[in-house]
Amino acid sequence: MTLFDIIFTGSKQALEAAKGVVQDAISKKGEEGKVAFPETAYSLPTFYAATGKKLGTLKDLKDALSIVESLIVEEQSLEKALNAGLATALSAEIIEACKYATQEKPYSEPCAGFISDAIIRSLGVPLVTGDIPGVAVVIGEAPSAEEAGKVIKGYQNKGLLVFLVGKIIDQAIEAKVKMGLELRVIPLGYDVTSVIHVVTVAIRAALIFGNVQPGNLGDLLKYTKERVPAFVNALGPLSEIVVSAGAGAIALGFPVITDQEVQEVPHYLIVQKDYEKMVATSLEARNIKIKITEIPIPVGFAAAFEGERVRKED
């Protein structure tokens, strides 16, 4: 299968899943069931930014599925592949929105799920000043907790904001990575679709700080590519859905670095099997240059530890 075919397959799978989830939600809550993420003025941010439309009910979600479907055009070209990637992002957002529509509290510790506008606003200044030099999205599963810890702490030590999706969360806990917003390591969720909650961080950054007008997809993608220094580390076996979500990241301008054997795409999809080099490879791929003086001390030293609370037993 060609790389583009894998993406199309993943996008179709995500769409099918979204259709099923919306149907289930409607059968539980009815078509007029309310749909909203907590503490945001941007409705479903990905949809809102891409189409300019706010979705408020499950019926709106159902109707939105046709937009997603229209983005999946199986022609062998980068343009169509990237559109399919965006379709996967939209499917993920629909699936996640249904979770919030049908469950009282879809996410619980340690997972954050949806990130509120207030948090994004608080991250804005350090992102602009370069105090947060980059945003790492680590998704999947490392071969062991040790490698997971090495990679995550590698970013944390350099002050990057790290989002975790999938089994890597458990591995991070096992590796004793200190987590939390103030420590700049945020576990999002175990389902692959929860990756959309970091996508909407980038998208809301464009709407809030970049003054991108909702519905102007071209400007949105330009802003995320040029101004949001994010990248993805996709670890462990890659399903078609993960690959197509990766295409969505690439559409936003975020390179994907993976430890798996895939067909590389220059600059955007890079294979790095050496975990020692994962951090360096990723920073170079996103052109993140960190002005640091490494102080040889036996503990991690970075702005990421500024909000750390030292408990009695520590």
Residues that bind other proteins (CB under 8 A): 2-4, 76-79, 81-82, 257, 263-267, 269-272, 277, 280-281, 284-285
Closest separation in Å from C-beta 280 to other proteins: 5
Of residues 10 and 106, the one with the C-beta less far from other proteins: 10
DSSP SS3 for 189: strand
DSSP assignment of 227-264 equals H--EEEEEESPPPHHHHHHHHHHHHTT--EEESS----
Closest separation in Å from C-beta 279 to other proteins: 9
Closest separation in Å from C-beta 19 to other proteins: 27
Of residues 170 and 284, the one with the C-beta less far from other proteins: 284
- Tell me the two tokens of residue 219: 């400007």
| Contact present, 67 and 91 (Cβ < 8 Å) | no
- Tell me the two tokens of residue 224: 């995320």
Closest separation in Å from C-beta 147 to other proteins: 16
H or E stretch at 269: strand 269-271
Of residues 87 and 196, the one with the C-beta less far from other proteins: 87
- Cα–Cα distance for residue pair 254/202, rounded to 1 Å: 10
Of residues 2 and 27, the one with the C-beta less far from other proteins: 2
Closest separation in Å from C-beta 204 to other proteins: 25
DSSP assignment of 124-157 equals HHHHHHTSS--EEEEEE--SSHHHHHHHHHHHHH
Of residues 152 and 285, the one with the C-beta less far from other proteins: 285
